Amino acid sequence: MIKKILVANRGEIACRVMKTAKRMGIKTVAVYSEADRLALHVAMADEAVWIGPAPSAESYLVQKNILRAIRDTGADAVHPGYGFLSENASFARALAREKIAFIGPKPRAITAMGDKIESKKLANKAGVSTVPGHPDAIKDSKEAVKVAAKIGYPVMLKASAGGGGKGMRVAYNDEECSDGFERATSEARTSFGDDRVFVEKFIEEPRHIEIQVLGDSHGNVIYLGERECSIQRRHQKVIEEAPSPFLDEETRRAMGEQAVLLSKAVKYQSAGTVEFIVDKDRNFYFLEMNTRLQVEHPVTELITGLDLVEQMIRVADGQKLTIKQDDITLNGWAMEARVYAEDPFRNFLPSIGRLSRYQAPETVTDPDCIVRVDTGVYEGGEISMYYDPMIAKLVTWGPDRNAAIHAMREALDAYYIRGVSHNIPFLAALMAHARFIEGRITTNFIAEEYPDGFHPADAVHDEPNTIIAVGAVMHYAYQRRAAMISGQLAGHGRQIATDWVVISGGEHHPVSVKPVDGGYAVGIGDSSVSVQTEWNLADPLFTGQVNSKSVCMQVARIDVTYRIIHAGVQADLLVVNPTTAALNQHMPFKAPPDTSKLLLSPMPGLLVSVAVVEGQEIKAGEELAVIEAMKMENVMRAEKDCVVAVVNAEPGDSLAVDQVIMAFD
């Protein structure tokens, strides 16, 4: 049996692999860059080896450094996780030469499936349904436009070596096709060192549904059901679930059998994923095969009861699969939400910095509910600018879809993160969205439901009086503490009022608070709300029952206001006496500064290019600059006709959020 595994990765996936290895009694080795010296995966491993500076191109992607770490530690196997070298055939071959087990497929399968152009040809040959498109790489933007016109718009331009949404553009006309080709080519070159791009038909109203496969070195291949991954933003998955609410048993079986056919065609060994695009009539087409463990693998684990990392290790050890296709049953429903360090209210800009507070939801393993958190961070740790800004994967399971969604909503409410911006409000809003709950989703869901981006007003609370009541109880608790101050003059002690006005979003809500039976009776207008809680002023989470319904809210006192976050809604409440509330209505409004004549960097990143000069007249829609962040190129365009007054930054500059790039007349 494999005795020591070097995990050639970082973050949550490195920690995830180590958990299984330790359970199996296998020692682990971590590798780390300069930025990851204090990372969680380093602390979890039995041994750790430094492999280079912070940039991944100088550390996690440097094969010779990782091979040296293998030799120095005596590791006899390598698990690559996902990303980095996980689908690098030359790395797998290098390990084979060193007689080190690669916990993944053989190089031939990686090569065959890693090239989207060649994999599509192979799929056709194996009898797998594929999307109509051009079979070869496109040489330039003119050919892209010509091919797109032949296929028929809309089309998808995709990097042959792409993944994670990089090197992908949808085009609906010639201009978008030409520009999309240039952007896709540039991103592909930067991210993968391979700038080949191909064109295929873009399926409208599509669903992204993938099949998990598992193969061994003895010719056995099985499929483990499907994952619905249609909730995506800019081609990157946000929410995944298993099974799909859209598939019937017949379609599931047909997709699974085609996935097995393709896997056997390349003699696939290990865990892998065959991705399909499915139209509204349940016609499905092969997209690509990921020859590695997927980010969303936990949802499959929860509905099948299998540990996919363990299966990968056993296959790499030469063992036969002990499970057959007939053994696979799908039990219950699982959801996964990707928690990212990004600001959903600023167009999901990446956020970097230190996790000043970090409290994940409690792990639950009850028969009727599972809550699982896969993470590679801890309180006091840092989200680095050099890597993907994922904080964690939050996974829930229930006996049915509604139960899994309910568990996810409760877990999101309990996820407490401070120090960096995060996307939990957006995830909570998705989980509460009626269309999502009904299962009427496509890959266009987010673009259709949030066409102008995500804003605080997009998150609406089901029971707004719940937030008002909790805010009133918090204020009462603070007033009660203030009344306990020592040294008060006899007969002049501070009295706790019971009547207040809660001001939220400009609206005034008269309230009364009375302690009753170990809890509180809160009057809001003509209604009464019962609040039962043991919350104290130091707790960042307000837990208890409101009208006999369990709640968990994130709370904080900020100056004279109370901030409450629940179900994706953030409310800032000012609680004052009725006289102050009346006077507050006369307070003048302070308008924010006018930035309409400035181009501000919307994110921390690298200024790749500046397309204009001082004094130049520009038209609305013209390109102004290109900013690269997290290996994605973002084109900044003029919102209206104007003249460039001054350019404040040069290509190659590192930009901070809201840094002025140029000003206009």
Pairing label, strands 4-7, 77-79: parallel
**Alpha-carbon distance values, 633 to 154, 195, 447, 608 (Å):** 22, 14, 19, 8
| 288 has catalytic annotation | yes
Identify the residue whose tokens are 């010509």: 146
416/424 Cα distance (integer angstroms): 9
- The structure tokens listed for 326 are 């007939």
Round to the nearest angstrom and report the end-to-end CA distance of the chain: 70
| Cα–Cα nearest to 541, from 552, 532, 557, 551 | 552
Pairing label, strands 47-52, 27-33: parallel
- Are 454 and 426 spatial neighbours (Cβ–Cβ below 8 Å)? yes
576/484 Cα distance (integer angstroms): 19
476/474 Cα distance (integer angstroms): 5
**Alpha-carbon distance values, 466 to 25, 551, 567 (Å):** 49, 9, 11
Per-residue DSSP letters for 310-373?
Answer: HHHHHHHTTPPPS--GGG----SEEEEEEEESEEGGGTTEE--EE-SEEEPPPPEEETTEEEEE
* Residue 548, C-beta contacts closer than 8 angstroms, at least 6 positions apart: 530
Exposure letters 592-604 (e unless 16+ CB within 10 A, then b): eeeeeeebebbbb
The secondary structure of 35-56, three-state, reads HHCCCHHHHHCCEEEEEECCCH
131/234 Cα distance (integer angstroms): 20
Residues paired with residue 213 on neighbouring β-strands, in sequence order: 223, 272
463/298 Cα distance (integer angstroms): 32
Q: In what order do the strands lie in the sheet with 623-629?
A: 632-637, 623-629, 605-610, 654-655
340/137 Cα distance (integer angstroms): 33
Cβ burial of 498 (10 Å; 0-12, 13-18, 19+) is middle
561/504 Cα distance (integer angstroms): 10
170/158 Cα distance (integer angstroms): 9
- Of 288, 342, 410, 633, the active-site residue reads 288
372/337 Cα distance (integer angstroms): 11
Cα Rg of the chain, angstroms: 27
337/16 Cα distance (integer angstroms): 16
414/363 Cα distance (integer angstroms): 11
Active site residues: 288
